[in-house]
Amino acid sequence: MHLNTNAASALADPASEDHLKEQVAAEKISYMRDYAKSSTVATILAPLLCIPLYNSVDFGLRLNVWLGLMAMAVCIRIYLIQSLRAETSQSAQFAKLNWAVGLVTFVWGLGWFLLVPNMDLANYLIYQIISLSVLFVGMVGYCVNWKTFYSFVLPLKLPELLFIALHYQFVVWPIAIGSMTILYLALRMGVLFSRSWEKSISLRYKNDTLLAQLTLEKDASLAANVAKSEFIATASHDLRQPMQAINIFIELFDVKQLAEKEQTIFQKMRSSISVLNKMFNTLLDISKLDSNLNPSHEQFDLASVVHDIGLTFGPLAVEKNLTLRFHDEHMQIRGDRNLTEQILRNLLANAIQYTSTGGVIVHFTNTAGHLAISVQDTGCGIPQEDLPFIYKEFFRSQTSRSQHDGLGLGLSIVRRIVEKIGGQMAVDTQPQIGSVFKVQTPFPVLGMDQRLSESPSLAVKPNEVHIGVVALAKHLGIIENDTSLMSAYVSYFVGKGYEVHPIPHTEAEFKTALMHIPHLDFILSDYRLGDQDGVYFIETLREEFNEHIPACIVTADTSPQHLNLFKQLQIEVLYKPIEIHSIAEFIANRLR
């Protein structure tokens, strides 16, 4: 994992290191203070238990003196520990702790001179065991800071060492040597444990710091994404709205009435607008894939998808004198119709764009019970050196960049869709011969459509376009707050034989208009309409006519959260800019 630059620099900052040391020291003080408080009862009881333990030994007044000193040490210890306050300096708190624990063990150390000389061997061994027990108990509580641990251990064991030196003829040497060995090991372990503990706590604080910084950066990133989405949605709407108007108005031109030179200019203008439309729609596909929209699992007719795609790509193939064929599309599928269509549209757009002669063949197969798609072209193929990069966003081969328009997003979109649905994708290609893109989807094939399985597959040959019979709606309701767009819609659809009902978007005029609409077969609406949105008017119209009227929102709003809303309300959506004849074909297909 690569540490964030700000986080790494913060950890390397001397001021941060000093703060880290203070945090570790505070952790040590807190731990040792709590342990010292919890062991106060044991500190009081341990010396009192010596009274019945040594009641048979004649100490004279020395036992009373030792008990008195122990009582004073315990009282001072309790006072010093209770006086520890976070507001005082850490060095003062450490000093108090060191004195508190050292005073009591020093009195235990004095016991070697006040009590042990009068003991027999058995009692001597008992005191040795008590001394070692005190040592190990202190190790548990004070090893986190080696200086405090030394303050605890040395007052306990140094008097014993001095006692051994002065009474060498009395001590049991194996026991004494063992005791001093334990002292050495305890001191060494205290230092090692203290350093290990410091590193552990330091690492914990560093991780906490990094986590806090990462959390802040994640929150900032999420906020930036929200701001970006809002900006893109607003900017996209403002850009797409005039583009949609251009798309509609350009279709209202009667090219035959233009002079030959003007016809040429007009066709070039239309071609440029078509390229802009494709770029807008490609960026829209990326935006939708970045949303949290999950793939649906609904039954759909694959042939209907192929029909809609043929309406778009048939003319493109004819324009380039290519053959476009679809094979074995008469299947019933359970999956996401829109994502399946997106896969096909992007693969076909890529295939037709890079094919100059021959054609494109699309095969649909039932592979292990799931839909598999292959798109084969007779185009220029893909150079071997470009294969590792073809799915990267905005990648375009240097060998064909100057010959073709586009953003280099088509294959990237397909790959992202395939990953989103949990499918697999592969490509076989030969330069100057062609390419075959294969997609294995997880969508189950439910069976063949018996009504269509015996009919021939769709084929679009040069100079021949099969788009089916378009059924016209009798009554079309249109809701649009842009007066120029509304005028263009009315002109176009009236010219196509629809009975068009312009529906106002203000509340009062809307209710008045309802009284004069006898029936609606389809509702076409914008989304942003001022005080109310298109969803409100569509739902109100459905309630007014007491039927589920097919409806479509044509919008420039690309906010991802609206996708789920439209889906829940069974309102289909088309995104601006879109050519007016595509809207007409869409409506006709829904009313067929």
Residues 214-271: tens digit of each pLDDT: 888 888 877 776 666 566 555 556 666 677 777 777 777 777 788 888 878 877 777 7
Write down the residue that tokens 């009274």 correspond to.
51
Q: Are residues 299 and 175 in the same domain?
A: no
Q: Are residues 39 and 135 in the same domain?
A: yes
Please report, for residues 211, 216, 402, 408, the alpha-carbon distance to residue 405 in angstroms, rounded to integers and kept in the order given.
Answer: 45, 41, 8, 9
pLDDT score for 60: 83
Alpha-carbon radius of gyration of the chain: 43
Q: Are residues 344 and 453 in the same domain?
A: yes
pLDDT of 75 > 90? The answer is yes
In a domain, 113, yes or no: yes
Residues 349-405: tens digit of each pLDDT: 888 888 888 999 999 999 999 999 999 999 888 887 777 777 776 555 655 544 445
Mean pLDDT taken over the chain: 79
Tokens of 497: 């034989």
Write down the residue that tokens 């292990």 correspond to.
368
Residues 503-550: tens digit of each pLDDT: 998 888 888 888 888 889 999 998 888 888 889 999 999 998 888 899
Q: Are residues 11 and 116 in the same domain?
A: yes
Secondary structure of 230-241 in HEC code, one letter for each residue = HHHHHHHHHHHH
Q: Distance between CA atoms of 366 and 447, rounded to whole angstroms?
A: 9
Q: Which of 226-235, 332-341, 342-351 has the lowest mean pLDDT?
A: 226-235
CB < 8 Å & 24+ apart, contacts of 182-187: 182/132, 182/135, 183/135, 183/153, 183/157, 186/135, 186/139, 186/153, 187/150, 187/153
Q: Are residues 299 and 202 in the same domain?
A: no
Q: Are residues 175 and 308 in the same domain?
A: no
In a domain, 255, yes or no: no
CATH code: domain of residue 439: 3.30.565.10
CA angle 289, 295, 297 (to 5 degrees): 160
With beta carbons less than 8 A apart as the criterion, state whether 552 and 525 touch.
yes
Tell whether the torsion through CA atoms of 176, 182, 183 and 184 is positive or negative.
Answer: positive
Q: How many residues make up the chain in this entry?
A: 592
Q: Which of 437, 468, 499 is the last residue of a domain?
A: 468
Q: Are residues 12 and 157 in the same domain?
A: yes
Between 366 and 90, name the one with better pLDDT. Answer: 366
Q: Are residues 207 and 306 in the same domain?
A: no
Kind of pairing between the strands at 499-502 and 475-479:
parallel
With beta carbons less than 8 A apart as the criterion, state whether 237 and 557 touch.
yes
In a domain, 158, yes or no: yes
Q: Are residues 185 and 306 in the same domain?
A: no
Please report which confidence band the pLDDT of residue 424 belongs to, taking 50, 70 and 90 as the band edges: very high
In a domain, 222, yes or no: no
pLDDT of 57 > 70? The answer is yes
pLDDT score for 117: 85
The domain of 125 spans 5-213
Tokens of 496: 């196509």
pLDDT of 212 > 50? The answer is yes
pLDDT score for 361: 92
In a domain, 237, yes or no: no
Q: Which of 163, 186, 213 is the last residue of a domain?
A: 213
Q: Distance between CA atoms of 54 and 56, rounded to whole angstroms?
A: 5
In a domain, 581, yes or no: no
In a domain, 544, yes or no: no
Q: Which of 408, 437, 468 is the last residue of a domain?
A: 468
In a domain, 533, yes or no: no
Dihedral Cα 213, 214, 219, 224, nearest 10 deg: 100
With beta carbons less than 8 A apart as the criterion, state whether 440 and 367 touch.
yes
pLDDT of 94 > 80? The answer is yes
pLDDT of 454 > 50? The answer is no
Please give the single-letter amino acid code of residue 360: V
Q: How many domains does the chain have?
A: 2
Q: Are residues 299 and 448 in the same domain?
A: yes
pLDDT score for 407: 53
pLDDT of 172 > 70? The answer is yes
Instruction: Give the mean pLDDT of 143-167.
Output: 86
Q: Are residues 13 and 146 in the same domain?
A: yes
Q: Are residues 85 and 202 in the same domain?
A: yes
pLDDT score for 522: 93
Helix residue spans in 252-292 (DSSP H): 260-289
Q: Which of 179-183, 250-254, 282-286 has the lowest mean pLDDT?
A: 282-286
Q: Distance between CA atoms of 546 and 552, rounded to whole angstroms?
A: 18
pLDDT score for 401: 45
**Alpha carbon distance, N-terminus to C-terminus of the chain:** 57
